[in-house]
């Protein structure tokens, strides 16, 4: 089945630093979604990407849909303590009934 | 917009009993809802896809007789864990599919922590 490789698995950074994480796949996806999950909560949608090459921002977050449709990255600029959490990428294909394939997650820790 | 609620948020039950978890889309109609299970420090594992008015589609390895799913309306899906055992203890999360800019985005509920004693 399809698999998403998300890296890094965890990051421990200083407040104010920029963060970058990415997902790669052996299969093509038509949509890439990035979620953030706080402890004990459900994932919250951060950014949705629909076209290959698309670059989308949401505040300090920027995500890109890779041109090959097999990868995506998420950048967080000037990190703050509330950025702490687990970030998941998810890919979606049109012929999979809107199902999502999730990456393994990136655990972000920010030191004030 | 695109708010999904889950109830209860936490439940503790005794082994052998059944537990029902509700998932509601509050401000949109969701023809498709999904049920996930998440183990500590792990990613989300899809259990089943629930379509309004039809039988749920279960992922390989998920027992449909143990995890009963009902999607009776466009805003409500329920997951019933029957004859629960301690190994069923987990974090269960639902999501509802909502048409986005070019596809169907999934919006997640806050999750239900199930503990079976």
Per-residue pLDDT of A10-42, as tens digits, reads: 999 999 999 999 999 999 999 999 999 999 999
Contact B46 A48 (CB under 8 A): no
Residue with tokens 């500590």: B40
Give the model's pLDDT for residue A94: 73
Q: What are phi and psi of A81, to 5 degrees?
A: -55, -35
Contact B106 A42 (CB under 8 A): no
Nearest CB among B34, B46, B103 relative to A31 is that of: B103
As a whole number, mean pLDDT of residues A80-94 equals 93
Q: Cβ contacts of residue A96 below 8 Å, gap of 6+?
A: none
Contact A51 B101 (CB under 8 A): no
Record the tokens describing residue B2, joined without a space: 């695109």
CA–CA gap between residue A73 and residue A21 (Å, rounded): 6
Give the model's pLDDT for residue B26: 94
CA–CA gap between residue B41 and residue B80 (Å, rounded): 24
Give the model's pLDDT for residue B101: 60
Give the model's pLDDT for residue B76: 94
Record the tokens describing residue B71, joined without a space: 């999607």
Give the model's pLDDT for residue B2: 85
- Nearest Cα to Cα of residue A90 among A80, A105, A77: A105
Per-residue pLDDT of A53-73, as tens digits, reads: 999 999 999 999 999 999 999
Does the pLDDT of residue B100 top 80, yes or no?
Answer: no
Weakest mean pLDDT among A84-93, B77-86, B101-110: B101-110
Q: Is B54 on the interface with A (CB under 8 A)?
A: no
Nearest CB among B6, B43, B106 relative to A103 is that of: B43
Q: What SS3 class is residue A81?
A: helix
As a whole number, mean pLDDT of residues B76-89 equals 96
As a whole number, mean pLDDT of residues B56-68 equals 94
Could you count the other beta carbons within 10 Å of the beta carbon of residue B7? 14
As a whole number, mean pLDDT of residues A71-98 equals 91
Does the pLDDT of residue A2 top 60, yes or no?
Answer: no
Q: Who wins on pLDDT, B53 or A13?
A: A13
Interface test with B, best of A3, A31, A91, A100 (most B CBs within 10 A): A100
Q: Is A13 on the interface with B (CB under 8 A)?
A: no
Q: Is B96 on the interface with A (CB under 8 A)?
A: no
Distance between B39 CA and the closest CA of chain A, angstroms: 11
User: Binning pLDDT at 50, 70 and 90, where does residue B63 land?
Assistant: very high
Please, what is the average pLDDT of chain A? 93
- % of chain B residues with pLDDT over 70: 96
Record the tokens describing residue A111, joined without a space: 């030191």
């Amino acid at each position: 089945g399809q698999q998403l490789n998300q890296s890094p698995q965890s990051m421990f950074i200083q407040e104010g630093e920029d963060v970058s994480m990415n997902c790669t796949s052996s299969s093509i996806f038509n949509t890439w979604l990035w979620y953030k999950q706080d402890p004990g909560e459900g994932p919250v949608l951060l950014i949705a990407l629909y076209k290959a090459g698309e670059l989308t921002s949401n505040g300090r977050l920027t995500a890109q849909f890779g041109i090959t449709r097999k990868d995506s990255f998420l950048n967080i600029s000037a990190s703050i303590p509330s950025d702490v959490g687990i970030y998941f990428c998810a890919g979606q294909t049109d012929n999979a009934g809107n199902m999502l394939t999730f990456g393994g997650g990136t655990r972000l820790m920010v030191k004030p | 917009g695109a708010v999904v609620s889950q109830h209860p948020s936490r439940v503790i039950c005794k082994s052998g009993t059944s537990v029902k978890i509700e998932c509601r889309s509050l401000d949109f109609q969701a023809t498709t809802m999904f049920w996930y299970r998440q183990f500590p420090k792990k990613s989300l594992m899809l259990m089943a896809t629930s379509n309004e008015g039809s039988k749920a589609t279960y992922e390989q390895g998920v027992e449909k007789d143990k995890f009963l799913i009902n999607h009776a309306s466009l805003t409500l899906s329920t997951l019933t864990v029957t004859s629960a055992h301690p190994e069923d203890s987990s974090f269960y999360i639902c999501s509802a599919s909502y048409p986005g800019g070019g596809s169907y985005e999934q919006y997640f509920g806050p999750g239900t922590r199930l503990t079976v004693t």
